[in-house]
Each structure stands twice: as C-alpha cells, then as structure tokens.
Amino acid sequence: MKKHIIAALLPALIIPSAMACTTILVGDKASTDGSFLVARNEDYSANNPKHFLVHPRVEHQKGAFKSHANDFTYPLPETSLQYSAISDFDTNDLSMGEVGFNEAGVGMTATETIYNGQQVLKFDPYVEKTGITEDAIENVILPRIHSAREGVELLGKIIEEIGAGEGFGVAFVDQHEIWYLETGSGHQWMATKVPSDKYFVSANQGRLRTYVPDDTANYLGSKTLISFAEKHGLYNPKDGAFDFHKAYSQDVENDVTYNYPRVWTVQHLFNPSLKTEIKDGTAFPVFLQPDHKISVADVQAALRNHYQGTSHDPYANANPKEPYRPISVFRTQESHVLQVRPDLPKAIGEVEYVAIGMPSLSVYIPYYQGLEHYLPGYDKGTDNASQDSVSWKYRTLQTLVMQNYNAYAPEVEKAYAEFEKNTATQQASMEKEYLKLYQAHPQQAQKVLQNFEDKVMADALALTNKLTQQVITQMTHDTDMKYHFEGA
C-alpha cells in the first residue's frame, strides 16, 4: 500500500457484525492464464465455524426451501443439481451456503452486504419478514441453474416478485462470463456482465453505476428500475445518463474509513499508476484494466491485506481501534477464490481456493469441482471450540498468534506460503495425470483427483497442528520469562 495514504479520519461508527465482506472479480482477459476469478472474504464472527459440504443431486424432489433467517420460502426444484457449499454450523447445513460450484459448472458467491439509500428505502423498503436474504440465496439458486446469466435472472425474478430482505451483491461465474447483481431496494435490482479485460472490487457498498436497458447482453435489471427512480425523484433525465449508484445506493461518513480504504487498496495493488485518494471514494472507477495481469496468488494477497507496511496496520501496530477497516480481519470465517478455466474439463478446470478463518493467518487450499468428499471434521463444529472441527483447528492457531502478532505471525505466514508453493507444483502434476486418464479411464482419473485432495487437506491440517504446537511452545517460554520468580 502506498506510503502517502492519508491520515485517518474520524473513527468508524459501530457497525453491526453482518456488515462485512470484500469482493474481487477478474475477467478472463485480465487474468494471467485466461481464467475467470471470483473472490470474497466472508466476515461475520470468529466463533462461527464453517461446514464444508457437497449436496448430492436429487431427483423427483418435492417441498419447499425454508429460510432460517426469516419466513422466506421457495419451492424446491424437481431436480436439484449437485453443488458444493460452505455453510454456517447452526443452519442444519441446509442454508447460508455462501459459495460453491454446481455440476453444470456454474459458481457463485453470496453475499456482499451492501446498504441501499435511505431515500429509496422510504418508498420501497426491504421485505425483511419474507424476502430473500443471504441465508437462502446459494441454496435456492445454485441447485437449479445452468449458466451465470440464468442465476442473475432467477435471483432478479425473486427480488421483483417476493422481495429482498436486505441489501446485497451476488456474483455468478461460468465458462463464458462473470455477472454481478446488486439490490437497489426491496424490489429493484440491476446486474452487469464484468468486462473480460477488467476487474471489479466492492467493499460493503453498492458500486454499480452504468445501466443500459437496451443492451441486454451486458446489463439486466428490474422492469421498472429507471421509471421507479424517476417517479420518486431519485433520477431526473435532465441531469444526464441514469446512474444506478446515485439513484439507489449511498455514500455516508462511515464509508470513508470502513469501505473506501479497502477498494482503494486493491485498486492500487492492481494499478500502482492510479491517481486517486481514499477520501474521493465517489470517484473511484467501477471497472479497471489492471496494469499487470492478475493471478490467483495476486487475488489471495489482496484478500490477505491489512495495510501492512503502513501506519494503518492494526496487527503489527497492536491497534484494535484502527479506524481503517482492513480487508483481512480476525472475524473472517472463510476466504475464497473461485477459478474457472474454460479450456479444461470442469472437474479440474473449476477450483475453489479456500482459506479457513483469517486469510492472512491461514492457508489457501484448492478444492476442485470434481471433489467427491471432504475429510472428516470439515462438517463439524459449533460456537464452542472442539477438536473434531477442522474450522476450529485453524481458528485455534489464529487466536494464539493474535496474542502477539509480531512475535508469532512471521513464522506462520512463511510456513503457509511455502505450503501453497509446494501445493501448486503438486496441482500441476495431478492435473497432467488427470488429463491423460479422464477420457479413457474416468474412474482412475477421479481417484487421482480425490487422492490429491485428501492428501492436501491432511497435509495442511498436519502443518497447522505443528504450527500450533510451535506457538504454544514459544508462548510457554515467554510466559515463564514474564513470571519466572527465580531465586537469588
């Protein structure tokens, strides 16, 4: 992050814990290898372990999905596609799916929490009691769609007909494109296709602006999106082209310290030549062509960012009251990067890199779309720490490190970086072997893939356990020296 970052402004307001996520989307011509990248940090509560699941394909299904968050319901699809999900522990694994791929090759991440303008919400408030919310979106949409665009159209239809229970942004990706949808109010929404040569960043704020209703190849929206804004004085055609953000979103004092710094930081990581200042968030570009092509590792580094090397690093400076909200926070539940490589078979061409817990103190593991199961413990854990939960194993290490970040973090970060480097080499070998087998010997190819996954998951856990013991050993010594009371 640049050294001339402006001094902290007013401290951030107290924020509800649900206001928390950072999203990064990268078009295929903006990435180093021609892949589509969809990424997000899911931030909420450190005591909320995630369950990693593969929901099987279900035929002749009946009944309805019922939300755990409110009274929203929606008919189950007659045929539910197989899909992966990372769910909250207290939803019976049936909702709050957050992120995954389905068997048709469609991926999605849901949701980026955003807040629509107070003026528009006076005319069309959120349908809090029965509208769709983050709790339902993936588990309702992903089992039934066959393209990213279809996902946008279905979610948009639900918002218009049933309503949105809160403000959110949702990204969809397939082998051809990325789409991003934002709510405008209880029943208004718009979506745009991410330009193939550009990237997009969002941090708890509506960011979309341009909407061209006649260009349905690149823009979609609610039927009355513009006319509703005109009717209620949110947009006047005499002022120029329709601006979705001006009509339906907001810029408030809190954005200057809570949201703008994160968007600014990522944009300056990918575009060092960019001339913008944090305080000028309303003028940030929506889509940018990067100065250099963006890799999966670049996106992971951005999701791990906490203003390191500057006075705004809350961890190195031991300042929990730092006004600039970092991208990587301790309460991150999981961080993910969806990679879609259209020129490869879906089973290995679609990868979900996930770091459990705080990404700057965690390791990104590749989970392929063709994965059949996770290791035992990936579907375990409650809000009380336990040894049977994979999520808690990572969280335990992170909690220990945060007691003295400067003393313990460097070795953990170094070990995980080396693990990721070695894993990338193993990935390349596995994919090469898979491609030799998958057409003539699909079962053998599948075994190669699953064996790789089992080994990487086990090795990452073994390393985490080793690091945990190292930190405890050092903490024990440090405590001994602090309270030694040795004789004369």
Chain segment 181-216, per-residue pLDDT in tens: 999 999 999 999 999 999 999 999 999 999 999 999
pLDDT at 175 > cutoff 50: yes
pLDDT at 5 > cutoff 80: no
Q: Measure CA 78 to chain center.
A: 29
Asked if 70 and 128 count as a contact pair (C-beta separation under 8 A), the reply is: yes
pLDDT at 480 > cutoff 80: yes
pLDDT in tens, 124-171: 999 999 999 999 999 999 999 999 999 999 999 999 999 999 999 999
| Residue 334, CA distances (Å) to 20, 137, 283, 354 in order | 12, 18, 30, 7
pLDDT at 14 > cutoff 60: no
343: number of Cβ within 10 Å: 9
Claim to verify: residue 475 and residue 347 sit in the same structural domain = no
Residue 343 lies in a domain: yes
Residue 340 lies in a domain: yes
Claim to verify: residue 165 and residue 271 sit in the same structural domain = yes
Q: How much is the pLDDT for 4?
A: 35
Residue 460 is part of which domain span?
Answer: 390-483
Alpha-carbon span 299 to 295, nearest angstrom:
7
Claim to verify: residue 398 and residue 360 sit in the same structural domain = no
Strand partners, 288: 199
Residue 213 lies in a domain: yes
Average pLDDT of span 67-85: 97
Question: Rounded mean pLDDT of the chain?
Answer: 95
* Contacts for 121 with CB less than 8 Å, ≥ 6 apart: 185, 186
Asked if 417 and 362 count as a contact pair (C-beta separation under 8 A), the reply is: no
Annotated active-site residue 21? The verdict is yes
Asked if 193 and 173 count as a contact pair (C-beta separation under 8 A), the reply is: no
**487: confidence class by pLDDT, cuts 50, 70, 90:** confident
Average pLDDT of span 52-61: 97
Alpha-carbon span 228 to 146, nearest angstrom:
31
Alpha-carbon span 64 to 135, nearest angstrom:
15
pLDDT at 61 > cutoff 50: yes
* Contacts for 255 with CB less than 8 Å, ≥ 6 apart: 205, 281
pLDDT at 18 > cutoff 60: no
Claim to verify: residue 324 and residue 408 sit in the same structural domain = no
Fill in the amino acid letter for 481: M
Q: Tokens 């579907």 identify what position?
A: 379
Structure tokens at 404: 């003295």
Claim to verify: residue 357 and residue 406 sit in the same structural domain = no
pLDDT at 79 > cutoff 90: yes
Residue 323 lies in a domain: yes
Asked if 229 and 97 count as a contact pair (C-beta separation under 8 A), the reply is: no
Q: Please give the helix or strand (H or E) that residue 321 lies within, else none.
A: none
466: number of Cβ within 10 Å: 12
Please report, for the domain that includes residue 48, its CATH number: 3.60.60.10
Claim to verify: residue 94 and residue 235 sit in the same structural domain = yes
**6: confidence class by pLDDT, cuts 50, 70, 90:** very low
Complete DSSP assignment for 116-136: --HHHHHHS---TTTSB-HHH
pLDDT in tens, 241-294: 999 999 999 999 999 999 999 999 999 999 999 999 999 999 999 999 999 999
Claim to verify: residue 403 and residue 327 sit in the same structural domain = no
Residue 327 lies in a domain: yes
Residue 10 lies in a domain: no
Alpha-carbon span 15 to 305, nearest angstrom:
20
Structure tokens at 465: 């356990």
pLDDT in tens, 372-403: 999 999 999 999 999 999 999 999 999 999 99
Q: How much is the pLDDT for 1?
A: 40
Asked if 353 and 336 count as a contact pair (C-beta separation under 8 A), the reply is: yes
Alpha-carbon span 84 to 99, nearest angstrom:
8
Asked if 397 and 343 count as a contact pair (C-beta separation under 8 A), the reply is: no
Claim to verify: residue 407 and residue 350 sit in the same structural domain = no
pLDDT at 8 > cutoff 60: no
Q: How much is the pLDDT for 354?
A: 98
- Greatest alpha-carbon span in the chain: 86
Q: How many domains does the chain have?
A: 2
* Contacts for 360 with CB less than 8 Å, ≥ 6 apart: 304, 305, 306, 315, 328, 409, 413
Higher pLDDT, residue 91 or 9:
91
368, 402, 428: which is the final residue of a domain? 368
Alpha-carbon span 167 to 42, nearest angstrom:
15
Q: What is the pTM of this model?
A: 0.95
Average pLDDT of span 452-472: 98
Claim to verify: residue 447 and residue 359 sit in the same structural domain = no
Claim to verify: residue 342 and residue 414 sit in the same structural domain = no
Structure tokens at 220: 């979609």
368, 401, 433: which is the final residue of a domain? 368
Active-site choice (1, 12, 20, 21): 21
Asked if 183 and 174 count as a contact pair (C-beta separation under 8 A), the reply is: no
pLDDT in tens, 312-326: 999 999 999 999 999
Claim to verify: residue 196 and residue 102 sit in the same structural domain = yes
pLDDT in tens, 348-377: 999 999 999 999 999 999 999 999 999 999
Q: What are the strands, taking DSSP E only, across 342-446? A: 350-356, 365-368
**303: confidence class by pLDDT, cuts 50, 70, 90:** very high
**92: confidence class by pLDDT, cuts 50, 70, 90:** confident
Claim to verify: residue 347 and residue 422 sit in the same structural domain = no
Structure tokens at 327: 């991208």
Structure tokens at 377: 């413990």
